[in-house]
Structure formats: structure tokens, C-alpha cells
Structure 1
Amino acid sequence: MAGDILLEVKNLVKHFPIKGGILGRTIGAVKAVDGVNFFIREGETLGLVGESGCGKSTTGRVILRLLEATAGEVWFRDKNVLELGKEEMRALRREMQIIFQDPYASLNPRMTVGNIIGEAMEIHGLARGKEKEERVIELLETVGLTAQHMRRYPHEFSGGQRQRIGIARALAVDPSLIICDEPVSALDVSIQAQVINLMQDLQEEFGLTYLFIAHDLSVVKHISNRVAVMYLGKIVELADKEELYRNPQHPYTQALLSAIPIPDPTIKRERIILEGDVPSPVNPPSGCHFHTRCKYCMDICKVEDPVFKDYGGEHFVACHLLER
């Protein structure tokens, strides 16, 4: 059962500068994350969904400081992660880990699986020698592999097995929070189910907290306790998963949910087709970022950014329609 708040993100901003001209001056910025707010309780899974390029993965990487934030705060327990020095941050990395989208690109091809998983234990002084080897074998068995696999290299494994190695590496330092950056999107559907079930079992066994980033709404519904919907650098809706899927309030969320296939040919669902393309994060629309594609667009939507607020039962929405 979810407990106290473990992670809280406040007004998080990440802009990537665009350089131009002979002198390489900054002539603009890609506004990848543009004022994001959410929290995650201990032991729960928050799903973060949205179209490609909306800033989901960037949000995860900024929280871990794999990318430095432009502005905002990231509170992990009682520490603002963005203000920590090098040594404090190194100690905190034991508590916060990441599982990457591409299991092959994230594993060093020149290292054996045993060294990949055991490296973090040595860095953090958790285990060496025989003790480290025993712990590596224990982790491999925990994720469904065997002791024989520790002498092999990443290219000798399938995609699903490589992702299991990535999960074992994340578990090696006994973290509290794991950011899962689209961990199953590169896998076959049958393997996706196995990895998702494994992650749920590990969460229960080790008391883990997940930020689960994905674009597949059915996968997110299966694993998450609450779901946040992101559009062009901002979270537009956040609620308990049952509430969100049953009663979506934001027009963008309604459109996303209408696209989920129903495994029953007798049931017809009306698809909401969004007009136009996603605007560029270099020059996002004024006011509500979604107004250029919204059929309910009002004059206020074009000029005033809606407030992201709780409309009851921790159902947060940023939409002017709800304020009428």
C-alpha cells in the first residue's frame, strides 16, 4: 500500500538552447519540459504517458540529474535533488535508479553481465569479491536468469533477457525509486507481459516505487496506481487510474483513451481524431498548449495558461473548460 510522499516535483523546467550564427549565440530554446508538477508516494507506481516528443523521458532524466534542470525543484524525501553537491548526489544515486528504453544500448558490450551488475556494488562499496559474485547470482535468479549467464556478454542475449539484466543492474544497489523509461516499448508483446509481471513482483518483494514512462495506455493501466498525461512539456491531467480511464476530463486525455483498441469486435467506440500536428516545442502556442488542436477551444485558451489544480479526489486537471 502506498505511504508517505517519496518524490515531489515542483515547476520543473528543462529548456535545451539552440545555437546559431558564427559566434554560436543562443537564438532560441527547445522547451522540452515546461513547468511540471506531480508527486509519487512510497510503494506506488505513477504512469507518465503522452505522445512521442512531449517531454516524458526528459522529465525522468532531469529528476535523476542525468540532465541538469533549467528551473524548478525535485524533492526526494527531505532533499532538493537539484541543489545537492557531487558527493551528496553520488550517495543519493543508490536510492534512485533508472531502467532505459533500449536494453542493448544501455549495456556496455565489452563487459560481462556479472561485471555490469556488480559495477555499482563496487562503486558504492556494497560488496566485493566473493560476496559481490553471490549477490550478482542472486539478482540474476531474481529476474529469471541463471548463474551461467554472468560470464556472457550482452550481445549473447535476446531483447527481453537484456531488459532483465537492466532491471537486475537497477536493483543491485537496493534503490527506493526506479524510473522506468519506456522499459517494454522495444520488446515483443508476449515479452512485454513477462517483463511487466516481473516488475510488479519485484515491487511487491522489495517495496519499490516506480515512475513508469510509456506511450502505451493499456500497459500503463495494468501497472500504475495513478496516471499523469503529458502534452508538449506540461502535465494536463493526473488522477487515480480507475478514475482517469472512467472519467477523463481533459480533451487531450479523452482523445488518447478513445484510441485504445477494445478486444471485442461487437463493441464500437467513437474515435476522437485530433486535428493538425503537435506544435513545435521550440515555439509552443500561447495560453493552453493544446488549444490549436482542441475542438472546445475558447478565446481564453489562446491567451491564458490554465491552472493545474485538484478538482476533487486528487483528480488534477489543467483546463479552462472545468472553470466555466
Structure 2
Amino acid sequence: MTPDVLLEVEDVTKHFPITEGIVFKHEVASVKALDGVSLAVRRGETLGIVGESGCGKSTLARVIMRLLEPTSGTVRFDGKDITQLSQRDLRVFRRELMMIFQDPYASLNPRKRVGFIVSEPLEIHGLGTDAERKRRVQDLLEVVGLNPEHYNRFPHEFSGGQRQRIGIARALAVNPKLIVADEPVSALDVSVQAQILNLLKDLQGEFGLTYVFIAHDLSVVRHISDRVAVMYLGKLAELAPARDLYAAPRHPYTGALLSAVPIANPRRGRGRSAFVLGGDVPNPINPPSGCRFHPRCPRAQDECALTDPPLEQRAAGHEAACFFPLEKWPLTADEMRRPATVSAPGAETEPLAAARGPS
């Protein structure tokens, strides 16, 4: 682990058991939410994580936070293996890593005042006197764009955007090094989303924060992220700097996601040929053999159903798990179905997608 890496996730899996029986329960299957995820987050950067619902983004966030125990694998924070920490050591660790939750309505206790909600982390960790905590909370409310006089109000007296600002203030209370933001703007209006994103960027520069930012919206991720990880059915499909990934995606799944993003310019939008994926996301209880994306992939060949492609470097800092990556971007729907090269030299085969016909 290099000194500039703050968080390292190494070959992490998380399987949720499915049991039968009332008195004598036994496991009959498991939901494979994460299956061999490895990535690193550098100090001061924002790593965006995107993918369809059910791909494992939120599960990964909760494993990083130790809200869920990994089935296997290692999570290292600031050089220390946190998957082996005792409950006592874990409390100290939680000062360094905080979380912003998706729903600003459900993540705040409706029976507690804002002052208590934001100061609770300070009280749990025994930081400061009552007067110092109150002053700290009022300062934080001002930092996130709220009036310090809101200290005595209840959450129901605020709008959705204001509630998310309260959640951000709570996350900042103990001066963490890393903040995991699990879809923090998905429940907000577009205009409020922009305010929260700009606030997060300003706070990152002011406090030297590192973010793991989870979202569905590719436009939101592009605005805030330095690097982007694309997940599909519990595995990483692509990992690259944000500018490179949006300019030249290499994985067909990433290409399909980007082709669905609306374009503000009508002239460019009319000339674009979007590609719509066929079929549904496979069942995580029984994922496909080989590449998990191959049943829906327009470029899949026989090799894809037999072997799971590793995450390999396709350009400087740009990794993709695909035997038949995209050669250029943008591509038409027909070009998406015709891989020009294969991973094994001299081994060209007819694409499976050609036999299927258009999706």
C-alpha cells in the first residue's frame, strides 16, 4: 500500500445466505452481492462508483464502513487492516471515516433536534464540553449553508436539500479523513442536487477530504469524480480517470450506460445512435459463468461464457474487464456488435450476438 493511498479494498466478497427451516435452519443458497472487488482510493480524490440497481454499490459502501462484515477479502484504511479490528478499536476508527446516506428524510431522527443530531458523534467520542460542542455544531451549520439558529429545530422543519446539509454537517463533526456518500443527491431536485454537489466539492478543498461517491446518474458522477469505477453484478467492469472513461469507454457495459445519457445539445442528440441492452440483470443467486455481462453483451463470443475476464490495463490508468473491448467512441449500435479484435492473438470467432440478431 503506497503512502498516497488512503483506502484499499482487496478481493472483497460479500455473500448473503438464504436459509430454509424454522428450528433447524440450513443454508440452501447465497446472494453474491460482491465477488472479488479490488480498488484503491488515493488521498484527496473522489472515486465515483456507478452501476445498475443491485450491482453491489451500496453493499460495498457498507463493507468499507464495517456496517457489514465481508465474507472474505481485506479492507485497509490508512495502512491498517480494519476487517480484523475489535469493537473497541473500531470505535476509534469510525472517527476517521463517516457516511452520508441516500435518504435525507430517513437518516435523521425525527424526535431529535438538529443540535443533538450533529453533536452526537462528538458526544460518542467524548470530544469537547457541552459548550464547545454547541459552538462546533453552530459553526458546522454555517459551513454547510444553514443558519446557526437552526440548532434547536426538528428535521421536519427543513426541506430535503436542507436535511441533506444537516447530514453532511454530521459527517464533518469529527473531522474525518474519508466520507462515503451513498447516493446523497438521488432523492433531491435537480437544482438542489447542483447545490449539494458544489458544497461537497468546496468542503473537499477546505478540509482535505477524500470521497467515495456512489450514484446512478452518470452526469452527477462526471461532475464530482476524479476517477470512476463501473460495477456490474458484484464485480468491477471498468476503472479509469473520469475524463478518460467518458471520452473513451472500453467496456461494452460502460458504453451502453453512456449511450443512454441525455445530451443537452439537440443537434448532437439527434445524430447519436443509442444502444439499448436486451434482457434483464441476471440473478445474483446464480450468476452466469464466465463474464457476468455476456448474456446481455452485444460483442460476446464463446470465450466470454467460459472464462471470467480479469481487470486489465487498456491505457494509462484505464482498466477494463473485457476480452473484446471497445476500440473507439462513440460507436453506432451496429459497430457495438462487431468486435474488431480479440484478446488472444489469431483467435477470431464469430460473435454470439450475430447469431442472436439485434437486441
Using the size of structure 2 for normalisation, the TM-score is 0.88
Mapped pair 1:236 → 2:259? no
Q: Separation in 1 of the partners of 2:272 and 2:139?
A: 47
Gaps of 5+ in 1: none
Q: How does 1:118-267 map to 2 (within 5 A)?
A: 118-267=119-268
Q: Conserved in 2, the CA contact under 8 Å of 1:140 and 1:146?
A: yes
Mapped pair 1:20 → 2:20? yes
Q: How does 1:101-112 map to 2 (within 5 A)?
A: 101-112=102-113
Q: Separation in 2 of the partners of 1:258 and 1:311?
A: 21
The residue type equivalent to 2:319 in the other structure is F
Q: Separation in 1 of the partners of 2:279 and 2:168?
A: 38
Bigger mean CA offset, 137-146 vs 122-131: 122-131
Alignment-derived partner of residue 316 in structure 2: 313
Mapped pair 1:269 → 2:265? no
Q: Separation in 1 of the partners of 2:253 and 2:292?
A: 11
Deviations, residues 199-236 of structure 1 (Å, cap 9, x unaligned): 00000000000000001000000000000000000010
Alignment-derived partner of residue 357 in structure 2: none
Q: Separation in 2 of the partners of 1:45 and 1:101?
A: 17
Q: Conserved in 2, the CA contact under 8 Å of 1:19 and 1:28?
A: yes
Deviations, residues 272-312 of structure 1 (Å, cap 9, x unaligned): 11010000111110110000000111111101111112223
Mapped pair 1:291 → 2:294? yes
Q: Separation in 2 of the partners of 1:292 and 1:209?
A: 36
Mapped pair 1:304 → 2:345? no
Q: How does 1:19-168 map to 2 (within 5 A)?
A: 19-22=19-22, 23-168=24-169
The residue type equivalent to 2:93 in the other structure is L
TM-superposed deviation, 1:77: 1.2
**Moved >4 Å (runs of 4+):** none
TM-superposed deviation, 1:14: 0.6
Deviations, residues 123-168 of structure 1 (Å, cap 9, x unaligned): 1122221111000000000000011111011111110000000000
TM-superposed deviation, 1:81: 1.1
Q: Separation in 1 of the partners of 2:272 and 2:168?
A: 37
Q: How many residue pairs end up in the alignment?
A: 322
SS of 1:29's partner is strand
- Larger gyration radius, structure 1 or structure 2: 2
Q: Conserved in 2, the CA contact under 8 Å of 1:121 and 1:128?
A: no
SS of 1:144's partner is coil
Q: Separation in 2 of the partners of 1:239 and 1:147?
A: 40
Q: Separation in 1 of the partners of 2:198 and 2:285?
A: 38
The residue type equivalent to 1:164 in the other structure is R
Q: Conserved in 2, the CA contact under 8 Å of 1:49 and 1:215?
A: yes
Identity %: 60
Structure showing greater relative contact order (alpha-carbon pairs closer than 8 Å, 6 or more residues apart): 1
Gaps of 5+ in 2: 326-342, 345-359
